[in-house]
Structure 1
Amino acid sequence: MCMSGTEKQLPQYRAVLPHPMSKAGALCLKNDVPVVKYRYYPQPLTFNRKECKCTPVQRFVVFSMQRTGSGWFEALLNSHPNLSSHGEIFSVEKRRENIKRIKKNLDNLYNLDWISSASKNECTAAVGFKWMFNQGLMEYKGEIATYLKQNHVSVIFLFRRNILGRYVSILANVFDREKKQLNGTHRAHVHSKEEADLLAAYKPIVNLTSLIPYMERIEQIMMDAQLTFNGTRHMILFYEDLMKRPSALKRVQKFLHLPFEELESKHVKIHTLPLSEQVENWKEVSEHLKGTKYESFIY
C-alpha cells in the first residue's frame, strides 16, 4: 500500500496519476482521480522500488541527429532529480541488430532495469533515452512506431532549424575526430571555455557541390520521421529555442509530467560566433545559397 512517507518525500507527486493496468497502480489509485495512460508503475526485476512504488513513471524517447545539441539537452534533462535518460543505447550495433533485440532492450529500459550513470537514487518519474535516426530507428520505423504507441511512450523530436549550422558543426567534429586536438583525444562535447575555443578555431571549407543535396536529404529525414511517428504522443523541440527561450525547458518538463526544476548542464558551447566567422569559404557559401530556400540560413 502507498503510505504517507512517499508523499512527504515527494509532495509534488500527489497529483500524478497511476496507470490502470499496473498491479502497483491498483494499490495506489484513488477512486476520485481520473486515469492517465501515459504514466505507469514499473516493477523492475533487478531491484525493489520500495518507497517509490507509488511514484508513476513516464516513458519517453528523444529522436534526434548528431550535432543537434542532443548531448547538451540530455545533460539538462538528467540534472532533474526524478528523470533518467540513458544516452544513445542503440549506438551499439549489436543492440539493434534486429527488431526483436531492439524491443527487448526497450522493455528492459522502460521497466527501470537499465543501469547506467543516469540512474537516480531519487524516485524516478520519467525514464527514456536518446535515439538517433541512423541507429536503426528508421530501418524498423513501422515496428518501432507500433511499439511506442502500444506502450504509451512519449516522443520528443529535437531538431535544429539551421541545418547549415549543423553541417558546419559536423565538419568541425569530423576534423577533430581525425586530428584529436585536445591532448590526443577526440571530444564531441567540452566542459571548459579553453577547450571550446581550441576546437572552435578550426574553420572548415564547405563543399558547394554537395551542400544543397545534403540539406535536402536532411530535411527529408526530418519529414519522414515526423510522418512516421505522428501517431505517437509527441512534441517538437528546436535547438535554437533551447538556446534562447528558458520556457522551452518548462514545456519539456510539463510534457513529461515532471515537477518543475531549474535544469543545468556543464556542457560548454563550442561554436559561439556567427556562421560567417566559422567557415573558411563563407563568401562562396553565402553566394551559393542566395536565391534558394536555404538563403535564410546565411543571415
Structure 2
Amino acid sequence: MVEDMSCFLYKLSTGATAKFMESNVIHNLTPGRLKQTHIPNILHYPEPLSFNRNECAPNPVMFFAILSNQRSGSGWFETLLNSHTNVSSNGEIFSVKERRQNASSVLQTLDRVYNLDWLSSASKNECSAAVGFKWMLNQGLMEHHMEIEEYFKRRNVSVIFLFRRNLLRRMVSMLANSYDSHAKLLNGTHKSHVHSAEEADILSKYKPFINSTSLLKDLKDMEIKSAKALQYYNSSRHMILYYEDLMRNHTKLKDVQEFLGLPERELTSRQVKIHKGPLSDHIQNWDDVNKALTGTEYESFLEADY
C-alpha cells in the first residue's frame, strides 16, 4: 500500500505532476498481485450463449480491462498479452461510437465481452483464463464513469492502467500517426503499428511541428485527464503500468501475469517501435520545444528515457 489518491491530486494541483510520474507514488490502491487461490471472488464461470465451454467449463476466468490513452503502448501491450495461450484481449471495442453512445449501450457491450459472447481474432473461446479488452479514456470511460465503475465492482473486473511517463513522446507519436492517416506513407496504406524496421524507418521520417506556445498547457491537460481516470476507477482492483517500464524491464510482464492469475509464459510481439532515439531527431521545431520546456517541471521529457 502507498499514498492515497488525495496525495496524487494534491501533487497535480501544486504543479508537481512530472515529479510524481517519475516517482511511482501510486502502484496499487487496492490489493493486487495475488494468486487466484487467494482471491476467489474475482474468478468467474461464464456460460456463453454463442458456444459451449465444454471441458473447460470448470476452469475459472478473470475479467480485465486495459485503460489507456492513444499512443501509449496499449496496442503493443495487448499483442504481448494475446501471445499468452490463456488470454483473450479483444482490442479497442469502444472505438465504434454506437457502442458508447450512452451508459446502457456501454454496459450491454461489456456484458457481451465478459459473458464470452464477443468474438474476435483474439478469442481463445472455451479455454480462456483471462478475458478483457483495451479501452481508451476518450471512448466513454470518463463520461459514464459512475455506471462503469459500479459495473466493474459488481462483476469484479480487474483494471490495468497503462500510461506513458514521457508525454512529449506521446505527443510526437499522436501527431505523426494523425499525419499518416491522411498521407498514407506506406504504399498508400495507413498503419498505426508496424512489424518491420523498414516500415518504422519510413514512418519516422516525418517530423511533426509542435505548438510550443500551448505546449505546457497541453502537457498539463494530458496529466489531468489521466489523474481523473485514476480517481474515477481507483476503487476497482487495479495495477498501474508505465510504457517506459515495460520497455526497459520485461520482468514487469511477470507482474501482469501474476495480477491476472495466469501461469507465467514468455510473452512476445511482432510490433516494431517507430520513433527511436532522441526526440531532437523527431520534432521539426526542436529548438522552440527545447526552449519552452527547459527549466520547467517537464524538462526531463526532453531527454532520452530508454
TM tier, smaller:
0.7 to 0.9
Map 1:16-55 to 2 at 5 A.
17=37, 36-55=40-59
Deviations 1:153-212 (A, max 9, x none): 000000000001100111111111111101111110001111000000111111111211
In the alignment, structure 1 segments of 5+ residues that lack a partner are 1-14, 18-33
Residue 275 of structure 1: CA displacement?
Answer: 0.9
Question: Is residue 111 from structure 1 mapped to residue 115 from structure 2 by the alignment?
Answer: yes
Residue 246 of structure 1: CA displacement?
Answer: 1.3
> Matched residues, percent identical?
57
CA distance in structure 1 between the aligned counterparts of 2:36 and 2:197, rounded to whole angstroms: 40
Residue 123 of structure 1: CA displacement?
Answer: 1.2
Residue 76 of structure 1: CA displacement?
Answer: 0.4
The RMSD of aligned alpha carbons is 1.2
CA distance in structure 2 between the aligned counterparts of 1:151 and 1:68, rounded to whole angstroms: 27
Residue 35 of structure 1: CA displacement?
Answer: 6.0
Deviations 1:7-61 (A, max 9, x none): xxxxxxxx855xxxxxxxxxxxxxxxx6611111111111110110111100000
Q: Which residue of 2 aligns with 1:175?
A: 179
User: RCO higher in 1 or 2 (8 Å CA, sep ≥ 6)?
Assistant: 2
Q: Is the 8 A contact 1:82 1:122 kept in 2?
A: no
Q: Which amino acid aligns with 1:156?
A: I
Question: Is residue 92 from structure 1 mapped to residue 96 from structure 2 by the alignment?
Answer: yes
Q: Pick one of 248, 269, 272 that aligns with 1:268.
A: 272
Q: Which amino acid aligns with 1:164?
A: L
CA distance in structure 1 between the aligned counterparts of 2:137 and 2:112, rounded to whole angstroms: 21
1:112/1:122 Cα in 2 relative to 1: closer, same or farther (>3 Å)?
closer
CA distance in structure 1 between the aligned counterparts of 2:271 and 2:87, rounded to whole angstroms: 18
Residue 287 of structure 1: CA displacement?
Answer: 1.1
CA distance in structure 2 between the aligned counterparts of 1:92 and 1:175, rounded to whole angstroms: 21
CA distance in structure 2 between the aligned counterparts of 1:180 and 1:152, rounded to whole angstroms: 41
Runs of 4+ aligned structure 1 residues displaced above 4 Å come to none
Q: Which amino acid aligns with 2:87?
A: L
Q: Which amino acid aligns with 2:50?
A: T
Q: TM-score normalised to the size of structure 1?
A: 0.88
Q: Pick one of 66, 69, 74 that aligns with 1:62.
A: 66
Q: Which amino acid aligns with 1:198?
A: I
Q: Is the 8 A contact 1:81 1:122 kept in 2?
A: no
CA distance in structure 2 between the aligned counterparts of 1:121 and 1:47, rounded to whole angstroms: 8
1:122/1:103 Cα in 2 relative to 1: closer, same or farther (>3 Å)?
closer
Q: TM-score normalised to the size of structure 2?
A: 0.86
Q: Pick one of 192, 198, 209 that aligns with 1:194.
A: 198
Q: Pick one of 123, 127, 132 that aligns with 1:123.
A: 127
CA distance in structure 1 between the aligned counterparts of 2:106 and 2:181, rounded to whole angstroms: 28
CA distance in structure 2 between the aligned counterparts of 1:70 and 1:155, rounded to whole angstroms: 13
Q: Is the 8 A contact 2:200 2:272 kept in 1?
A: yes
Q: Pick one of 235, 239, 244 that aligns with 2:239.
A: 235
Residue 121 of structure 1: CA displacement?
Answer: 5.5
Q: Which amino acid aligns with 1:215?
A: L
Residue 148 of structure 1: CA displacement?
Answer: 0.4
Q: Which amino acid aligns with 2:70?
A: Q
Q: Which residue of 2 aligns with 1:205?
A: 209
Residue 94 of structure 1: CA displacement?
Answer: 0.6
Equivalences, count: 269
Q: Is the 8 A contact 1:16 1:56 kept in 2?
A: no
SS at match of 2:194: coil
